[in-house]
Amino acid sequence: MANKKSSKKKPYGKAIIFGLIASALYVTLLTHQGLITANFTRGGLLYALLPIATAFIFSFFHGTFTSTFWTVLGIEAKKKKEVK
């Protein structure tokens, strides 16, 4: 059992790929602050969609990265948890 557990492959590749994409998103956001804030705060229906869409994109890539990050560190949900 222990061998099986310890030999369980950790998602290093996935963590690196999603980590790089998330980093690229953050670098782009912070290096183009002026352009982004100017357009994202114009108001109105079309421009209001920009922050919402950005939130979804970041949550997908950064969310996947953070999930795999804890898995790689060995912090995972309890295996035999009974939920009513």
Burial class (CB in 10 A: 0-12, 13-18, 19+), 15: buried
Tally of CB atoms within 10 A around 65: 19
Distance of closest approach, residue 11 Cβ to another protein, in angstroms: 14
Could you tell me if 25 and 57 are in contact, meaning their C-beta atoms sit under 8 angstroms apart? yes
Residue 11 makes contact with another protein by CB under 8 A: no
Query: Can you tell me which of 2, 8, 9, 35 binds another protein, judged by CB under 8 A?
Result: 2
Residues forming contacts to another protein in the complex (CB under 8 A) are 1-2, 5, 26, 29-30, 33, 36-37, 40-45, 47-52, 54-56, 58-59, 62-63, 66-67, 69-70, 75-79, 81, 83-84
